[in-house]
Amino acid sequence: MTTIERLETRRQRVALTRPWGPSHSASGGAPSGAQVDAVTVIATRVTRSDGVQGHGFSWTPQIGASAVHALLDDEIIPAAIGRSAVPGESWDGLWAHLHEAGGGGITTIALAGLDLALWDAQARAAGTSVSQLIGRRRDSIRAYGSGVNLHYSEDELVAQVRRWVAAGFDAVKIKVGKPDIAEDLDRLAAVREVLGPDRALMIDANQRWSLTQATDAVTALAVHDLTWIEEPLRADDLLGHTELARRIDVPIAVGENLHTAYRFAEFLQADAAQVVQPNIIRVGGITPFLRIAAVAADAGAAVHPHLLPELSGQLALTLPGDPWAEDVEDAGFGDLGALADPSPVTIRDGRLSENPHPGLGIRFTAFEKETP
């Protein structure tokens, strides 16, 4: 049996060229007064007993990087050494080992660092990419323009949407949740005018509203032909989302702040969401992401992975249905100079395709000087 022989970690700060905030928490939570000018990755490198190495990462934009790093070094590494290096075979045992510290959140974010590295190593050993190893279903997928833009003026927002249209995107997502719904209405009207009637428009409230506020806001904003409303309520409010789904006609999207297949299943079984957006890092890596995608497929829900197109775009190529990739303006790791190799994906004319590469093709510069 091929086993995990070694796991190394390095923390890397990645500066943003277009800061996030100040009216938005970069982690997708409640509003924050702090502007976010950098995100943090914990780059990982696994060495298997057969000598094959693989690279992965854990990621947290604003909160918890030190805790994730410590959990990897203090708990996951000692528990992982000697376990199976086959992707998926050690995940459940390690999740059970960490469960005392929480079934999701910091624990699953940290687990992703190992899980991604194991998938990368497995694909490299097979001389292929991870998407080919899993089973790529298509050569490209639709991508949509996205931005952390609630703090933008209306003119700045319209200018951003014009950039997306010029770049070939036929779908965009903007933030909503201004104190006065009239301002959200004016902003959406301006955006819809730029998009025209045929491009898709999604909105993201980032958990800002109560049930009553969400009901009133979505009912008013729906006049602009919305494809979905994302995180209208606190992410863990299952009953609230279930009731909101009864009250509105716009599909509800959730998932960037859900962490387990069990939680996704609960939302889908309750008809609380029609679109799910698992973040591959936050759910614990590729192994649980594929399980969540299967749960969603069984429920007939759309799956559009959250953020990180260099990673989530590759995985979306393997999914059934019609998955989309989210491209946040000026936030790709390749564009930010954080990767040691060329980006494994290209987004052009509103579509994401994969470039030839081994494994995941995501190796952060934190290990660059040490890796041939």
369 is catalytic: no
Which residue shows structure tokens 């969603």?
Answer: 296
Provide the token pair at 161.
């949407």
Residue in 69, 304, 306, 357 annotated catalytic: 306
CATH class of 4-127: alpha beta
CA-to-CA separations, 345 to 146, 317, 325, in angstroms, rounded: 17, 11, 11
DSSP state of 224: G
Q: How confident is the model at residue 30 (pLDDT cuts 50, 70, 90)?
A: very low
Nearest by Cα to 19 from 346, 331, 363: 331
**Residues 51-88 pLDDT 10s:** 999 999 999 988 999 999 999 999 999 999 999 999 99
Report residue 75 as tokens: 């708990």
Give me the amino acid identity at 172. Answer: V
3-state secondary structure string across 175-193 = ECCCCCHHHHHHHHHHHHH
Average pLDDT, the chain: 94
**306 given a catalytic annotation:** yes
Consecutive H or E run containing 18: strand 4-20
Tally the C-alpha atoms within 13 A of residue 246's C-alpha that lie toward its C-beta: 8
Report yes or no: 312 and 355 within 8 Å, Cβ to Cβ. Answer: no
Q: Decide if 297 contacts 108 (C-beta within 8 A).
A: no
Both structure tokens of 7: 């796991």
For residues 41 and 364, the answer to whether their CB atoms sit within 8 Å is: yes
Q: Where along the chain do its domains lie?
A: 4-127, 133-360
Same fold, 4-127 and 133-360: no
Q: Which two tokens stand for residue 369?
A: 């000087």
CATH no. for 133-360: 3.20.20.120
pLDDT tens digit sequence for 218-262:
999 999 999 999 999 999 999 999 999 999 999 999 999 999 999
Cα separations (Å) of 350 from 32, 285, 316?
31, 26, 15
**236 exposure class (CB count in 10 Å sphere: 0-12, 13-18, 19+):** middle
Q: How far apart are CA 324 and CA 187, in angstroms?
A: 24
Share of the chain above pLDDT 90, in %: 91
| Residue among 175, 241, 304, 357 flagged as catalytic | 175
Three-state secondary structure call for residue 26: coil
C-alpha 189, offset from chain centre:
28
Please state whether the predicted TM-score (pTM) of the whole model is above 0.85.
yes
User: Looking at residues 6-29, what average pLDDT do you find?
Assistant: 76
- Quote the distance between the C-alpha of residue 117 and its chain's center: 17
Per-residue pLDDT tens digits for 155-211 = 999 999 999 999 999 999 999 999 999 999 999 999 999 999 999 999 999 999 999
- The tokens 């491009």 sit on which residue? 199
Give the burial class of 190: count Cβ atoms within 10 A of its Cβ; 0-12 exposed, 13-18 middle, 19 or more buried. middle
